[in-house]
Structure 1
Amino acid sequence: MSLLPDSAVTSAPGLRRAQLLLARQALEAILAAQRPADAILQDLFRDNRQCGSRDRARISELVYGVLRDLRRLQAIAGVQADAGALCALRLLDQGLADAATLEAWGLTASTALARRLAGFDPATLTPAQRDNLPQACHERLVAQYGEDATAALAQALRGQAQVDLRVNRLKATREAARQRLAQEGVKAEPTPRSPLGLRLSARAPLQNLASFREGWVEPQDEGSQLIALLVGARPGDTVVDYCAGAGGKTLALAAQMQDRGELLACDISAARLKKLRPRLQRAGVNSVVGLALPDETALAKFAGRCDAVLVDAPCSATGTWRRNPELRLREPDFAALQALQLRILGDAARLPRAGGRLVYATCSLMAVENDEVVRAFLEQHPEYVREDAGEILRAAGADWQEPELRLLPQRHGTDGFYAVAFRRQGE
């Protein structure tokens, strides 16, 4: 179903006026709100049920297209850089509409914007504007990686992330899942590093696939799969996912453990843990117990007796900017994040037994949240030593040679991730 008939437009192929107006409405909310873009779009589509799948796709493409090129479009628009002007510039720049059509649709500044676009000199952009990065983040990345590598990283972050699936070994092998997906009309190939991953050749409506509904596969970036493998969970272990969130890594850990042992999923949000329940049921997992934090009494029962603990810490999420380009609208408070990460990691450090493993992970690209946190933690906790991530991952069947896990979109084709494994010394 489409909002307008195809004959309604001749000069903006594939685009409808109603789609443009809804995209502008969504973009206004995204620029003004502290909520994820996908949540705002979901609300918009729920409130406009006349939108068909084609409408939703075109609205989303326009909104995310603006966000992935926001700083350049803002520089071109100048003082006119409201949501309508940004949408118009994106359409003009991509040749998806002409100024006359956009003027007729109510974007009355479109002719002037078209002139600004035609006369714009890209050399006037700052490096941060060119790379569509917050200024402070750009400076940190250049200091870490250099200008050329930062430009390549930024270019990768402006692209669209692929769809990776993790095969649930409680129900299927990777090859069996790949063949079943093929029978459902979805082409997938094994991921290069994770032994559990399948990468789709094109996006597909997973909720319509029996292989998904029956728990054979779960959407999970290959990098996230590797972090779960780094935990090295085994059947019968006692394991804690200390910042479980939506539970993607919890599910992966449960499969590693063959759904045998104790697996505690912790999060400060009871609502997030509640959303995990149907995913556990779909995956055929019964060993997971949820715990809303803080709950010192419950956690005390696990202190000093866990075989492994995963701390997937709250962070700037800079490594997910392909999927969540709206996150780059604001400068992260790195000092506050680092303090929080150290506190959480220190709290979790009480849980592993002697000889047990503690894994620290983020989806951040920033050394201030990664290397610096690890150094500070080891200074504060001499009872822990670093382990070789490559050895652990190779033992789990993954292809990874380096002693720590540092994933970059332009090099590895994943989201940006960082993870380190520690072992608690003692007998």
Structure 2
Amino acid sequence: MRLHRNLVFATIDGLKEIFNEGQYADKVIEKTLKRDKRWGARDRSFIAETTYDIVRWKRLYAEIAEVKEPFSRENLFRLFAVWATLKGIKLPEWKQIEDTPTRRIKGRFDALSKIRKFRESIPDWLDELGVAELGEEVWEKEIGALNIQAPVIIRANKLKTDAATLKNKLSEEGFETINLKDYPDALQLVERANIFRTECFKKGMFEVQDASSQLVADFLDVQPGNRVVDTCAGAGGKALHLAALMENKGQVIALDIYGNKLKELKRRAKRAGAHNIETRAIDTTKVIKKLYGQADRVLIDAPCSGLGVLSRNPDAKWKLEPEFLDRIRKTQQEIIRQYSRIVKDGGKMVYATCSVLPSENQMQVKDFLASEEGKDFKLVEDRKILSSETGFDGFYMALLEKSE
């Protein structure tokens, strides 16, 4: 591979924003890719994947390069030189990366790879937490799996098509996909590519949604004609899936505290042909109280640490702090206790997170069932999905039923 100066410099600029200014990697990359309209697909791919790679392995690369945050521009180039050396890429004779000690880099990599917190490039506290909650053996496998770049998975929108038809239509547009066993509506892209420019996407025939995430709506056991409340809907990936499973019959009420996310959901619902979704911003507690005892089904896709989706959001491990985890666990318990009151007698509720930590998952369900608000509920079934076992996102979901 030949390195192009303008692409490398754009990558360095992006890394400065992510590491030194606390910007989100996906937003920075999105902005960076708009810098030069002449960049082709390969150029854009280089910037995105190199940036994510260096973000993912920041601690390891910084240790090898012997640099500390905040990174000067000179030190960002040193991180880049480590990345290129370990990828086997010949470094050009630029003044920013001249005299790169390639042999020393490889030697330090071999030595540091024997220590998990460096090998998997994670903060000390996170490594200790993973061991404490999952055990040495499970955590070792899981954090390794979460450092592998996530595949691109899409969900066929059953309001408009099915997986077999979608597979053929995408193939006609030059995008090859494979079916996934045990995920009937899912297709995985053979090669990473921009599928948002396809006619299939414009016609609302699919949504990008990880395979594990696709299990959640189905787990809620919705029926056409139900009244379903998605309490933390966000931009609506699961609400759209619920609408499809309900065949556009009944009602999906999508709630969120962020109105801008619900606006995005409205746009997505229009494209998907999901007509039974109503959005409501939670601007006061009255929005929730009005729904008490009203829903056949309630989905609580709770805010969480996001540890199960590190493979697609590698910068999350640098933004996470132990104090945030303490706060989010408290918030999760408040949410499940309050939102459970929306379930009518005989109704069902799913509590779900994209975390692999029992303290955010099984422990929260156990605490809820022991609470005043949970006394009329029973746990029907729960599922713990590990990335190391499936190759997809880490997830948890618990189906609870309220007595009649």
TM-score bracket for this pair, using the shorter chain length: over 0.9
From 333, 340, 353, give the equivalent of 2:331.
340
After TM superposition, list the pairs within 5 Å mapping 1:122-137 onto structure 2: 122-124=110-112, 126-137=115-126
Cα-to-partner distance string for 1:152-202 (whole Å, 9 max, x where unaligned)? 222221211111111111111222222222222222222222222122222
Instruction: Provide the residue aligned with 1:96 in structure 2.
Output: 89
Inter-CA distance 87–364: structure 2 relative to 1 (3 Å threshold) = same
After TM superposition, list the pairs within 5 Å mapping 1:296-335 onto structure 2: 296-332=285-321, 333-335=324-326
Cα-to-partner distance string for 1:5-47 (whole Å, 9 max, x where unaligned)? xxxxxxxx33201111111110111112343211111112224
For residues 12 and 345 of structure 2, what CA distance do their matches in structure 1 show? 56
For residues 33 and 417 of structure 1, what CA distance do their matches in structure 2 show? 30
Question: Are residue 212 (structure 1) and residue 190 (structure 2) matched?
Answer: no
**Per-residue deviation, 1:203:** 2.0
For normalisation by structure 1, the TM-score amounts to 0.87
Count of residues in correspondence between the two structures: 394
After TM superposition, list the pairs within 5 Å mapping 1:156-175 onto structure 2: 156-175=145-164
Give the SS at the match of 1:144: helix
Give the SS at the match of 2:82: helix
**Per-residue deviation, 1:370:** 1.1
From 341, 347, 360, give the equivalent of 2:351.
360
Asked whether the equivalents of residues 362 and 417 of structure 1 are also in contact (C-alpha less than 8 Å), the reply is yes
For residues 84 and 49 of structure 1, what CA distance do their matches in structure 2 show? 25
For normalisation by structure 2, the TM-score amounts to 0.92
For residues 75 and 296 of structure 1, what CA distance do their matches in structure 2 show? 48
Give the SS at the match of 1:107: helix
Cα-to-partner distance string for 1:370-397 (whole Å, 9 max, x where unaligned)? 1221111111121111012xxxxxxxxx
**Per-residue deviation, 1:113:** 4.3
Instruction: Provide the residue aligned with 2:279 in structure 1.
Output: 290
Inter-CA distance 257–118: structure 2 relative to 1 (3 Å threshold) = closer
Instruction: Provide the residue aligned with 2:376 in structure 1.
Output: 383
**Per-residue deviation, 1:296:** 2.9
From 219, 237, 241, give the equivalent of 1:248.
237
Question: Are residue 265 (structure 1) and residue 254 (structure 2) matched?
Answer: yes
| Equivalent position amino acid for 2:339 in 1 | A
After TM superposition, list the pairs within 5 Å mapping 1:47-196 onto structure 2: 47-79=35-67, 82-98=75-91, 101=92, 104-108=93-97, 110-120=98-108, 122-124=110-112, 126-196=115-185
Identity %: 32
For residues 269 and 311 of structure 1, what CA distance do their matches in structure 2 show? 15
From 376, 380, 387, give the equivalent of 1:409.
387
Asked whether the equivalents of residues 77 and 113 of structure 1 are also in contact (C-alpha less than 8 Å), the reply is no
**Per-residue deviation, 1:352:** 0.4
Asked whether the equivalents of residues 134 and 331 of structure 1 are also in contact (C-alpha less than 8 Å), the reply is no
**Per-residue deviation, 1:217:** 1.2
Structure 1 unaligned blocks of 5 or more: 1-12, 389-403
Inter-CA distance 307–75: structure 2 relative to 1 (3 Å threshold) = same
For residues 281 and 267 of structure 2, what CA distance do their matches in structure 1 show? 17
Inter-CA distance 118–352: structure 2 relative to 1 (3 Å threshold) = closer
| Equivalent position amino acid for 2:360 in 1 | E
Instruction: Provide the residue aligned with 1:3 in structure 2.
Output: none
Inter-CA distance 167–373: structure 2 relative to 1 (3 Å threshold) = same
Asked whether the equivalents of residues 408 and 415 of structure 1 are also in contact (C-alpha less than 8 Å), the reply is yes
Give the SS at the match of 1:222: coil
Asked whether the equivalents of residues 239 and 264 of structure 1 are also in contact (C-alpha less than 8 Å), the reply is yes
Asked whether the equivalents of residues 63 and 87 of structure 1 are also in contact (C-alpha less than 8 Å), the reply is no
From 21, 30, 34, give the equivalent of 1:42.
30
Asked whether the equivalents of residues 242 and 312 of structure 1 are also in contact (C-alpha less than 8 Å), the reply is yes
From 360, 370, 374, give the equivalent of 1:369.
360
**Per-residue deviation, 1:105:** 2.7
Structure 2 unaligned blocks of 5 or more: none
For residues 267 and 331 of structure 1, what CA distance do their matches in structure 2 show? 22
Inter-CA distance 308–346: structure 2 relative to 1 (3 Å threshold) = same
Inter-CA distance 87–162: structure 2 relative to 1 (3 Å threshold) = same
Give the SS at the match of 2:127: helix
Range that drifts further, 335-344 or 122-131: 122-131
**Per-residue deviation, 1:350:** 0.9
